[in-house]
Amino acid sequence: SQQGEEDPQALSIQEGENATMNCSYKTSINNLQWYRQNSGRGLVHLILIRSNEREKHSGRLRVTLDTSKKSSSLLITASRAADTASYFCATDANDYKLSFGAGTTVTVRA
């Protein structure tokens, strides 16, 4: 079964706007990672946040983690057409399996 669940399933925004997507999970985790997948391609690692961290930044990406609510959010600022992709959260729980959610599909309109 999948540990993480992304919300929303799909998101359509105008170029230049910000995109926010959320991930909720069920059990305690060691870390949470976000990956991007362009159509027909493999996944690309974006950012990792550990269970003792609350916020991380990488370029235009901002990730937060709230372990009390078992949730994380990924914010993409000033979106570009190249950000059009599916975004997946992946949780590394105490069972040492990396489990992916079903993803959020983001479309950035020019």
Binding site for another protein (CB under 8 A): 2, 4, 31, 33, 35, 40-45, 48, 88, 92, 96-103
CB of 98 to another protein, least distance (A): 4
**Cα 42 → chain centroid:** 15
Q: Which is nearer to another protein, 42 or 82 (CB)?
A: 42
Q: Which is nearer to another protein, 79 or 104 (CB)?
A: 104
CB of 99 to another protein, least distance (A): 7
CB of 18 to another protein, least distance (A): 23
Alpha helix (H) residue ranges in 33-84: none
**Beta strand residue intervals within the chain, DSSP E:** 5-7, 10-14, 19-24, 29-37, 43-50, 55-58, 61-66, 71-76, 85-93, 98-100, 104-109
Q: Which is nearer to another protein, 61 or 98 (CB)?
A: 98
40-69 burial string, b = 16+ CB within 10 Å, else e?
eeebeebbebeeeeeeeeeeebbbebeeee
Q: Which is nearer to another protein, 4 or 76 (CB)?
A: 4
CB of 33 to another protein, least distance (A): 7
